[in-house]
Homo-oligomer: A and B are copies of this chain.
């Protein structure tokens, strides 16, 4: 993030650039929004036993890599993934400048909220719409669009900025891990460029620790200045088996801890915890709380289907978090 972008962000959001979320309180217990149950105990036990020098489970600091899915793990993915809300809002905002879009069946489907039309034929319409809203502009232009959107859009149910709708217990978990020398990464099916605009502020995770889906950019000199133009070429989808592939490509080490919420995270949970010479830890956030957030697993209304990973959890020793019972608070704005 450039200074300009940083200053713009601070001005635009009214939030401090380095969020208070980023650090664990020096005084006071860790994970204070977690109720005293098996999940909290499993986390605290793992960080305690892997950070004591000279004990068998000690993990040297450089190997303390923790990877987090984003949608459904660090923030919600309902009523639709937030990046899609951004894409659809962008179509609406840019429509007057692009009169031809009115004859585009996929744009119409998006504006009408016709998800099946977008998802048919291997997500053909969705990729088309993502191309219209995520490519053909410089990275700086795209960042500014995301910032503008964040400043104005509100989550339809919670009435808050999307980047305020983050899970307070997970923010505390990120801080707890960092306080114990773990380097925290996002490994998400979402777009890397979309996430990097706000992850540092919201989660304390800098851009270089955000792995996501992407299409390649193209380097150009424009008016004597270097720019990177976003394209739709060489797409990498950081989901399912793509997650361990992305982890290897970007991190080059096997993680010691992995946090997810859906079958899309199963491969990276396996990669983290099966046959790892280091002690390892896997955790699944189970959406069990219709009152405070959403309740789904096998039949989600949005993304986030959770069947296979949940079934595998007991055998693999993955900790399953029940949002309803394990989390005292869901969002920072909950009372």
Chain A contact residues, CB within 8 Å of chain B? 1-4, 6, 59-60, 62-63, 65, 139, 183, 185, 192-193, 196, 200, 206-210, 214, 216-219, 221, 224-226, 228, 234, 236, 241-242, 244-245, 248-254, 267, 270-271, 274-278
Question: Chain B contacts of A276 at CB under 8 A?
Answer: 2
Counting chain B CB atoms within 10 Å of each CB, which of A224, A248, A253 scores highest? A248
**Minimum CB distance partner of A224 in chain B:** B274
Copies of this chain, complex-wide, total: 2
Dominant SS among interface residues on chain A: mixed
Measured CA separation A274–B224 after assembly (Å):
8
Question: Which residues does chain B contribute within 8 Å of A250, judged by CB atoms?
Answer: 208, 250
By a CB distance below 8 angstroms, the chain B residues around A208 are 65, 183, 185, 208-209, 250-253
Q: Is B218's CB under 8 angstroms from A3's CB? A: no
15 contacts between A and B (CB under 8 A): A1-B63, A2-B253, A2-B277, A3-B60, A6-B60, A185-B208, A192-B249, A207-B251, A207-B252, A208-B252, A217-B248, A219-B267, A225-B274, A226-B274, A228-B245
Measured CB to CB, the closest approach of chain B to A18, in angstroms, equals 8
| Pick from B2, B218, B226, B275: contact of A225, CB under 8 Å | B275
CB-CB under 8 A from A216, the residues of chain B are 236, 245, 249
Find out whether the CB atom of B62 lies under 8 angstroms from the CB atom of A252.
no
Which residues from chain B contact A236 at a C-beta distance below 8 Å? 216, 234
Which B residues are in CB contact (< 8 Å) with A214? 249
A253, B197: Cα distance in complex, Å: 10
Known contacts A208-B250, A219-B271, then 13 further A-B pairs from the complex at CB < 8 Å, ordered by chain A residue: A2-B253, A2-B254, A3-B59, A3-B278, A183-B208, A208-B251, A214-B249, A216-B249, A224-B274, A224-B275, A226-B270, A226-B274, A226-B275
